Amino acid sequence: MGKAEEQMGVVSALVRASFLVDAVYAGSARDHGLTEQQGQLLCVLMPQPYGMSELGAMLGLAKSSLTGLVDRSVRNGLVRREPDPRDGRAARVALTREGAAVVAEFYADTCRRVEGLTSGLTDAERRALAGLLGRVVLDNDVPVVFKEADEGAAAAG
């Protein structure tokens, strides 16, 4: 059976696809001097600053892990802590000017690389794949940790 004729089940396809995307994401992060988690943090912060509890929930990190990630990112000049205007005791995490520049390049490069994974598909197949995967993501309440520029405002996170 040739490559085009092979069929795999949904579990195998999703797990193998997640490994593929993760490897591409990790390579892009590495090429931009970031860890995968730093890349995720910066992408989440692209639209706006967030509080630590919001970031922990979005990134699926325990408080101690998130604190370490933010601390390292602050030391690297990528993010800063700022007062939360709604709670004087809390802080929000925001991109610095340098962090915004780094994430803009990382984001654009990562989008190109991941988009390239579907180069063997027709436009109709790509739309169908996006529609089906989008439903799986939405049905499972996956936080918006990465969003394409052309996604609707309703998906903003």
**Which amino acid does the sequence have at 139?**
D
> What's residue 1's pLDDT?
44
> What's residue 148's pLDDT?
72
Query: Nearest-CA neighbor of 82 among 63, 96, 100, 97?
Result: 96
Query: Nearest-CA neighbor of 120 among 27, 26, 4?
Result: 4
Asked whether residue 152 carries a pLDDT value surpassing 80, the answer given is: no
Say whether 73 sits in a helix, a strand or coil.
helix
φ and ψ of 83, to 5 deg: -60, 145
Percent of the chain surpassing pLDDT 90: 75
Return the number of other C-beta atoms located less than 10 Å from residue 109's C-beta. Answer: 15
Alpha carbon separation from 42 to 28, 33, 131 (Å, rounded):
13, 13, 26
What number is the average pLDDT over the span 39-52? 94
The predicted model scores a pTM of 0.82
Tokens 């370490």 belong to: 68
Asked whether residue 73 carries a pLDDT value surpassing 90, the answer given is: yes
Asked whether residue 150 carries a pLDDT value surpassing 90, the answer given is: no
Sheet with 79-84, side-by-side order of all strands? 50-51, 87-95, 79-84
Alpha carbon separation from 129 to 34, 114, 121, 152 (Å, rounded):
29, 13, 9, 17
